[in-house]
A and B are shown apart, each in its own frame.
Chain A
Amino acid sequence: GENVEQHPSTLSVQEGDSAVIKCTYSDSASNYFPWYKQELGKRPQLIIDIRSNVGEKKDQRIAVTLNKTAKHFSLHITETQPEDSAVYFCAASRGGGNKLTFGTGTQLKVEL
């Protein structure tokens, strides 16, 4: 089955700096890669996703890049703000039943 590794497990940045979270996946048939943000005690919220026919996608301060050959994808957050502090999960799916395999999560802390 699919295996998704996520690094780092914790990330601390200064407000205004950029943050990068990286994930690798094992199943070359995976073709859908969402990123979720989960604040403490709240539900996971989809913040951006990318499909395998695209190499990069951007939405304001958030971008995701995908390298199919190397089987890794990354989340980039620019101009970080305190409200970006949360746990971020990457995930991968090969379609069909849309079973998402989640990474282990990254605790992002944006310090003032």
Chain B
Amino acid sequence: DAMVIQNPRYQVTQFGKPVTLSCSQTLNHNVMYWYQQKSSQAPKLLFHYYDKDFNNEADTPDNFQSRRPNTSFCFLDIRSPGLGDAAMYLCATSIEGNQPQHFGDGTRLSIL
């Protein structure tokens, strides 16, 4: 059974049109992460939540925002997607810091 669930699996949006990706977990893990992965590259951390504490990476564009309304859910909002934002977006969780991270299947975002 999937423990980190991302919806949708595929998302198409128009240039500049806001889009929201969602992630839910059944593991009750404290930490949730959002990564961006482009073709043939390693996942790149955008931000993470330790419980309700939000941690943004220094090089994450302002165009990317995140919300974690409760333990189980986390959202990635892209306010004005550009062509360069087309990528796979991966959500991951871990029970605590410095513990194994469990990834969801990802959402592949395309920009028209």
Which residues on A are within 8 Å of B, measured CB to CB? 31-32, 34, 36, 42-46, 49, 89, 93, 95-100, 102-105
Contacts and interface: CB of A to CB of B under 8 A. Distances in A.
B97 A100 contact: no
A105 B43 CA distance: 10
Contacts of B45: 99-100
A105 B102 contact: no
Contacts of A103: 42
A45 B97 CA distance: 18
A44 B104 CA distance: 8
A105 B101 contact: no
Interface of B: 31, 40-43, 45, 48, 50, 55, 90, 94, 96-106
Nearest to A98: B97
Contacts of B50: 97
B92 to A, nearest CB: 8
A36 B105 CA distance: 14
Given A43-B104, A44-B103, A98 B42 contact: no
Given A97-B48, A98-B98, A45 B42 contact: no
Given A97-B50, A102-B42, A104-B41, 7 more contacts: A42-B105, A44-B103, A96-B98, A97-B48, A98-B48, A98-B101, A105-B40
Contacts of A95: 97-98
A44 B90 contact: yes
A103 B48 CA distance: 19
B105 A105 contact: no
- The residue in A43, A89, A96, A97 that gathers the most chain B C-beta atoms within 10 A of its C-beta is A43
Given A89-B42, A99-B48, A102-B42, A43 B103 contact: yes
Contacts of A43: 90, 103-106
